[in-house]
Amino acid sequence: MHTTARRLKIGLSACFSHADPTRSLFSNKTLQYVEQSIAHWLMSSGAMVVMVPCPTGLTQRGDVSFRHYAEWLDGLVLHGGADVWPGSYGEDPLQEQWSGDRMRDDYDKALVTAFEAAGKPLFGVCRGLQLLNVAYGGTLYQDINTQVPDSLVHRDAVTYDQNFHSVDIVPGTQLSRLYPGVERVRVNSIHHQAIKDLSPEFEAEAFSVSDGLIEAIRRKDRSKSYIAALQWHPEFHHSGSNTIDDGAMLEDFLSAVAQAKSRPGRS
């Protein structure tokens, strides 16, 4: 049994639903929320999960900052949602519907900066992987089907989280050590954007079979704080679905969180 004082406190980035006059409730308000599956996935380990609301904006009150959250929480998870704004990596949108959410990009990057400065581990899921790659100097394909010849269908609006494909784990990586003897696994696929140029900060740990898109990344320099990310959604995998057991990846992240918390000077 974990006591409340000993439980890890994991920050979870918020999704944004901007003011919409067609919405029946809160039509002129910005809503911030989390999808419950990823919160439940993290809580399955016994960790306490806290959504980190954006402390800045037109209605900001008080002096709470991203730094305060980074100092209080033990680690951060960046989860899925809207496209990344192409301007974040020096491009113009190829189509208007791929313009992404610049406001959320700024929010997520501010979170990354604060938690990095505090030496707290970071874990990214889907958009989270893409945002981390961009935050550290990488670029994205704005639309896989348009920009990657002979690519798989990585996002199917009808099947959604039941759209699966195989990925190959790169031998010698930490991901391969988490799954000894396993070379190829099955994962869900719910994204139409992907890493184009990998940030020099990261190494690729898994690739999509046949089209070679990057599916998992990890920080190269182990002397710096932990960063790892997945293109698929581990929180959407269920037992009996013939997909990879993502528990080892969650344990790897939370072990890094616990180690960082135990260093001298950390509460």
Q: What share of the chain is helix, strand, coil (3-state, %, to 5)?
A: 30, 20, 50
Note the pLDDT of residue 158.
77
Query: How far from chain centre, in Å, is Cα 25?
Result: 29
pLDDT at 253: 98
The pTM of the full predicted model, rounded to 2 decimals, is 0.93
pLDDT band at 30 (very low <50, low <70, confident <90, very high): confident
SS3 253: helix
What would the CATH number be for the domain defined by 7-20+27-262? 3.40.50.880
Boundaries of every domain in the chain: 7-20+27-262
Q: Is the pLDDT of residue 58 over 80?
A: no
The active-site residue, picked from 191, 192, 233, 237, is 233
Residue 1 pLDDT greater than 60, yes or no: no
Which among 54, 126, 201, 203 is annotated as catalytic? 126
User: What 3-state class would DSSP assign to 27?
Assistant: coil
Active site residue 126: yes
Nearest to 11 by CA among 134, 89, 110, 133: 110
238 is catalytic: no
pLDDT, tens only, 225-267: 999 999 999 998 876 668 888 999 999 999 999 999 988 765 5
